[in-house]
Amino acid sequence: MRNIKIPGLIHTASINTIFCIGRNYADHAKELNNAVPEVPVVFNKPINSVTYDGAEILIPENLTKDVHHEVEMVVAISKYGKCIPADKAMDYVLGYGIGIDVTARDVQSKLKEKSQPWTLAKGMDTFAPIGNFVKKEAVENPHKLNLQLSVNGEIKQKGNTADMLFSVPALIAFISEYCALNKGDLIFTGTPKGVGKISDGDIIKASLGDNLSALEVSVRAI
């Protein structure tokens, strides 16, 4: 584990494994012509993809020409658990924050054509910006939170966690069947519709709930 702290929970945990959920909003699955999944689609981002509020998303132009934003609620895990029952899953939540699953869409499309994992498209440096996290006690219901993302002041994504196909307890239970969860693990819970391209010079703002968590990053091509 690298000593990378969870913003807002820096005295509680460092980031460990990053789990991400694909196609967890039906409208997003449909906008990319993907089938709505019957079980969660799970992939990982490496720790080098993490960056924070006020930082930059770096786009390596020699590798990708089509990078997209995907705003998501991110769940931080509080303690070790394996085969966690869904009715006990919320006991393993430390807190919630906003994040962006940055995706090199052209790279992902090529990988999908070859039935290869998405790691190279999802895991480039700075491709997982996260905002501050609040403790779970500050959130009355994580399944009734607004998500919003704007690019250069124009709202591009606007959704609500009520529309997730798989709830937070369902995701924790599912993932922990296959992989033990540990303190400091993050779960990116999926994105609503409206994903789109970002470019050099863009300013991206994202938020969760009523000022629970916020994030602002700029984009720089390298």
| Per-residue pLDDT tens listing for the chain (222 residues) | 456 889 999 888 899 999 999 999 977 666 666 677 899 999 999 999 999 999 999 999 999 999 999 999 999 999 999 999 999 999 999 999 999 999 999 999 999 999 999 999 999 999 999 999 999 999 999 999 999 999 999 999 999 999 999 999 999 999 999 999 999 999 999 999 999 999 999 999 999 999 899 999 999 999
Question: Residue 102 has what pLDDT?
Answer: 98
Q: 133 forms bridges with which residues in the sheet? A: 97
Burial of 10 (0-12, 13-18, 19+ CB in 10 A): exposed
**DSSP labels for 33-48?**
T-PPPSS-EEEEE-GG
Domains of the chain: 18-221 (3.90.850.10)
Give the DSSP letter of residue 84: -
d(CA 20, CA 42): 6
Question: Residue 1 has what pLDDT?
Answer: 43
> Measuring CA to CA, which residue among 93, 104, 154 is closest to residue 128?
104
Question: Residue 4 has what pLDDT?
Answer: 86
**Residue 144: count of CB within 10 angstroms of its CB:** 11
pTM over 0.85: yes
